[in-house]
Amino acid sequence: MKAVTETSGSTEPTVNKKKKGFWTTFKEQKILYGMSLPFIIVVFIFSYLPVWGWIMAFQNYRPGRGIFEQKWVGFDHFVTLFTDDKFYLVLRNTLAMSFMGLIVGFTIPILFAVLLNEIRGSVFKRTVQTISYLPHFVSWVVVAGIVTKMLSVDGGAVNQLLMALGFIDQPIQFMAQGSWFWYIVTASDLWKEMGWNAIIYLAAIAGIDQEQFEAAKVDGASRIRQIWHITLPSIAPTIAILLIMSIGHLVSIGFEKQFLLGNPLVVDYSEVLDLYALNYGLSMGRFSFGTAIGMFNSIVSIILLLTANGLFKKFMKQSIM
Partner 1 sequence: MARTKAASIKPSFSDRVFDIVNYTFMTLVMIVTLYPFLNVLAISLNDSVDTVRGGITIWPRQFTLENYMQIFQYEGLITGAKISVLRTLAGTLLGLISGSMLGYVLSRIEFQGRKFMSTFLALTMYFSGGMIPVFILIRDLNMMNSFLVYIIPGMVSAFNVFVIRSFIDGLPYSLQESAKLDGANDFTIYYRIILPLCKPVLATIALFLAVGQWNSWFDTYLYNGSAPHLTTLQFELMKVLQSTQGQNTGMGAGQNMAEIVKQVSPESIKMAITIVVTVPILLVYPFLQRYFVKGMTLGAVKS
Near partner 1 in 70-99, by CB under 8 A: none
- 90 touches 273 (CB < 8 A): yes
Task: Using the minimum distance from each CB to partner 1, give the nearer residue, 139 or 314.
Answer: 139
Quote the least distance from Cβ 95 to partner 1, whole Å. 18
Residue span binding partner 1 (CB under 8 A) among the ranges 94-102, 164-172, 228-236, 278-286: 278-286
Residue span binding partner 1 (CB under 8 A) among the ranges 74-82, 85-93, 147-155, 165-173: 147-155
User: Of the candidates 89, 146, 162, 163, which one interacts with partner 1 according to CB under 8 A?
Assistant: 146
User: Of the candidates 54, 78, 180, 213, which one interacts with partner 1 according to CB under 8 A?
Assistant: 54
Beta bridge partners of 72: 59
Handedness of CA 263, 266, 268, 272 (dihedral sign): negative
Tell whether residue 39 is a contact of partner 1 (CB under 8 A).
yes
Buried b (16+ CB within 10 A) or exposed e, 26-39: eeeeeeeeeeeeee
Dist CA 205 CA 193 (whole Å) = 19
* Alpha-carbon separation of residue 246 from 43, 56, 100, 242, 261 (angstroms): 24, 29, 12, 6, 22
Tell whether residue 118 is a contact of partner 1 (CB under 8 A).
yes
The number of residues that bind partner 1 (CB under 8 A) is 100
User: Of the candidates 56, 90, 244, 250, which one interacts with partner 1 according to CB under 8 A?
Assistant: 56
Quote the least distance from Cβ 236 to partner 1, whole Å. 15
Quote the least distance from Cβ 89 to partner 1, whole Å. 16
Tell whether residue 193 is a contact of partner 1 (CB under 8 A).
no
Near partner 1 in 159-188, by CB under 8 A: 175
Dist CA 142 CA 158 (whole Å) = 18
Quote the least distance from Cβ 110 to partner 1, whole Å. 14
Handedness of CA 136, 142, 143, 146 (dihedral sign): negative
Tell whether residue 154 is a contact of partner 1 (CB under 8 A).
yes
Helix or strand holding residue 7 (H, E) = helix 2-9
Quote the least distance from Cβ 9 to partner 1, whole Å. 12
3-state helix vs strand vs coil in the chain, percent to 5? 75, 0, 25
Tell whether residue 68 is a contact of partner 1 (CB under 8 A).
no
Quote the least distance from Cβ 247 to partner 1, whole Å. 12
Dist CA 95 CA 273 (whole Å) = 10
Tell whether residue 35 is a contact of partner 1 (CB under 8 A).
yes
Three-state secondary structure call for residue 101:
helix
User: Of the candidates 95, 178, 212, 256, which one interacts with partner 1 according to CB under 8 A?
Assistant: 256
Tell me the three-class secondary structure of 12-68, residue by residue.
CCCCCCCCCCHHHHHHHCHHHHHHHHHHHHHHHHHHHHHHHHHHHHHEECCCCCCCC
Dist CA 113 CA 234 (whole Å) = 13
Quote the least distance from Cβ 115 to partner 1, whole Å. 5
Residue span binding partner 1 (CB under 8 A) among the ranges 71-79, 98-106, 154-162, 165-173: 154-162
User: Of the candidates 93, 132, 186, 231, which one interacts with partner 1 according to CB under 8 A?
Assistant: 132
Task: Using the minimum distance from each CB to partner 1, give the nearer residue, 61 or 181.
Answer: 61
